[in-house]
Chains A and B, each alone.
Chain A
């Protein structure tokens, strides 16, 4: 007891168990059901694209940090999350080098060049998707209908060549062509993911389960996803579309729960988060109804990302016991 050396540190002396790594791990866990459903519907190739995307994201993060002589932070799992989200935002019929280009853009251009985790002003995975969509529009819009886990590439090719109409038809493009009124079976297909689209966006029920997991684990708050989804619902109804079906298709569930809630590119203030969700919802509904693209989720989120610093500035919480300036 005489020569005890004691640690001295500032308060508080206890910390919550949450860490960046535990949060990112939770996001990966939450994305797993939808990713598995994507593999189930789109086959082994979807699994390969996911693996390539994650591996190259982690590689680019480590390589950049190595070259710039920073400490390597791949164990925080944020690069893995970006890689998985990117893959889930890609259609299955793409060449294998495309996710590598996407991962480079997401990690190096959108994230590391702006200062790394927490500093990127737009969602890296969505930025990469937008970049790929602009640069390689043909493969990026080649949406096949689900073929099943054990479909070999021959049958996939056959399926696509047999009926181009089927291979390109996502429910959203069908809606926009008009004269398509979804029936019960369409709702069931959209919920379960048996529709055309990107690898990870089709199975609404799996995404909702993942989103609820994130809410329960308090990784995200309800504010962005709930206002986003509600706004799309109300506006779609207002525009005379099919509001409930609209929620289950396209990238809405993936976007609302997993992309718009990205910490660095969404507001930190509670009121700001409501505005973020509302703004994303308005833009998505407008693009879907009036835009030339059938889908508007990713561009809505990217546009709102740009407004985040402004939103944060004007939505500061009210200070406890704030004294008005003119009282002084």
Chain B
């Protein structure tokens, strides 16, 4: 088997051995626990609540939806009573209107669940509708509604569905565990996607640091000529959509374009598992798999968690902290968000919770650029971060755009590698936001 890869990139320590041995533990919220379910857990229009304070809701009941096409409905992950609907803090640091449900501990299922499972006879439209109704969005972190992604404009001929099993962020091990524990279901999920795109082949791309997953997938996909398992080099940001497509197909998504422009759709592992559950088992998205790691937690591992459980309740349920945390990250260490409160819920896009002690959290001070050129040598997009950074320092946004600042994928490779510890990615991200905001105004 060939090992595929993309140009440039970095090799941070993968720090996966803390949790990659740990089987997925199912963690159910205790009776009486308050679940906080934000009405916006995806890119697109926020949902509106379908329930009101005092209502009793059942497990899997749709509790929020939007009339906009570019959105995804939200379901209750427990049975219980709606105690309030009010703005609450979310992992991204913003306030969002949220439905708060007190778990009655019965997990009483909504009668609509698991009725319609004869998926082999489903039409393309019905599968897309199932995916939409199940509230599935990209669970890797982006939160792009899956039914939109799987239904690109007609003129875009899709010939490759890539199952992105690179999991290139350090510490994260959920995809790895899903691939070896639920191999057949992942394959089944991919097969369902392939029925949506009859002219496409499915490629499962796994980083070389997961040989057991490669072996399991190869074995499980034997006999299906439309599915191929490929190994990709363990290198960050291999799991970035554009870099993944480049490595697997040799095609480059044009600047400002989407994967569909080069005939590809890229899906995350947990997302494909959710698709399998929605279509083959007729169950909506109510849980996700989260890696809990970092030197501050007592029991690092991989947990299947109900959406809406707060970070605090979740960490306490796993055994709590070993040492006082100084930094908590929602997501991976390269692109995740440092949160300032633990009273935030696990939402559809929460792939990991990393808790670090002060010793591990302190970042070195920033120094002057020494022009070593390492950021240029490692930028996966072929940008010159030092040049963009000096454009930003000079507040020259015209030059920033001319130097392709908007093409930055914010992977953080430049900041990681910089020996002067300059805040390259941070400054570029801020400048991107400002330029986009200015463009919107015009």
Contacts and interface: CB of A to CB of B under 8 A. Distances in A.
Max chain B C-beta neighbours (<10 A), residue from A9, A268, A322: A268
Given A12-B335, A317-B382, A20 B342 contact: no
B242 A15 contact: no
Interface in A42-94: 73, 76, 78
A165 to B, nearest CB: 44
Interface in A218-249: 221
Contacts of A176: none
A272 to B, nearest CB: 9
A118 B368 contact: yes
Nearest to B370: A118
B340 interface: yes
Contacts of A148: none
A267 interface: yes
Contacts of A14: 12-13, 170, 333-334, 416
Interface in A1-27: 1, 4, 6-16, 18-20, 22-23
Given A6-B338, A318-B382, A15 B415 contact: yes
A321 B255 contact: yes
B34 interface: no
Given A7-B327, A12-B334, A118-B368, A316 B416 contact: no
A19 B373 CA distance: 14
B397 interface: no
Given A14-B334, A76-B367, A321 B254 contact: yes
B377 A7 contact: no
Interface string B370-409: 1111001101111110100000000000000000100100
A264 B371 contact: yes
A316 B340 CA distance: 40
Given A20-B419, A118-B371, A317-B384, A13 B329 contact: yes
B367 A11 contact: no
Nearest to B419: A18
Contacts of B312: 1
Interface in A310-327: 316-323
Nearest to B335: A11
A7 B242 contact: no
A69 B368 CA distance: 16
Interface residues of B, number: 71
Interface stretch (B24-32, B210-218, B422-430): B422-430
How would you classify the secondary structure of chain A's contact residues: helix, strand, loop or mixed?
Answer: loop
A23 B418 CA distance: 11
Nearest to B6: A320
A8 B338 contact: yes
Contact of B384 (A13, A16, A268, A320): A268
Contacts of A318: 382
B353 to A, nearest CB: 12
Contacts of A118: 368-371, 420
Given A6-B341, A118-B368, A318-B382, A263 B373 contact: yes
A8 B254 contact: no
Given A8-B338, A10-B429, A19 B321 contact: no
B421 interface: yes
A139 interface: no
Nearest to A316: B384
Interface string A237-275: 000000000000000000000000001101111100100
A23 B419 contact: yes
A117 interface: yes
Interface in B1-25: 7, 10, 12-13
A32 to B, nearest CB: 21
B253 interface: yes
A317 B388 CA distance: 14
A33 interface: no
A266 B372 CA distance: 9
A23 B370 CA distance: 11
Contacts of B381: 319-320
Contacts of A264: 370-371
Interface string A76-118: 1010000000000000000000000000000000000000111
A319 B255 contact: yes
Given A1-B342, A16-B12, A319-B255, A6 B327 contact: yes
A268 B334 contact: no
Max chain B C-beta neighbours (<10 A), residue from A13, A18, A318: A13
Interface of A: 1, 4, 6-16, 18-20, 22-23, 73, 76, 78, 116-119, 221, 263-264, 266-270, 273, 316-323
The 7 A-B residue pairs with the shortest CB-CB distance, nearest first, are A268-B373, A12-B412, A10-B426, A321-B252, A118-B370, A18-B419, A13-B333
19 contacts: A1-B342, A4-B324, A6-B340, A6-B342, A7-B338, A7-B362, A10-B423, A11-B334, A11-B425, A12-B412, A13-B327, A15-B421, A19-B421, A22-B419, A268-B384, A268-B386, A319-B407, A320-B380, A321-B252
Interface of B: 7, 10, 12-13, 170, 242, 246, 252-257, 312, 316, 320-321, 324-329, 333-342, 354, 356, 358, 361-364, 367-373, 376-377, 379-384, 386, 404, 407, 410, 412, 415-421, 423, 425-426, 429
Given A11-B335, A12-B415, 8 more contacts: A7-B326, A14-B333, A118-B368, A264-B371, A268-B371, A269-B376, A317-B376, A317-B383
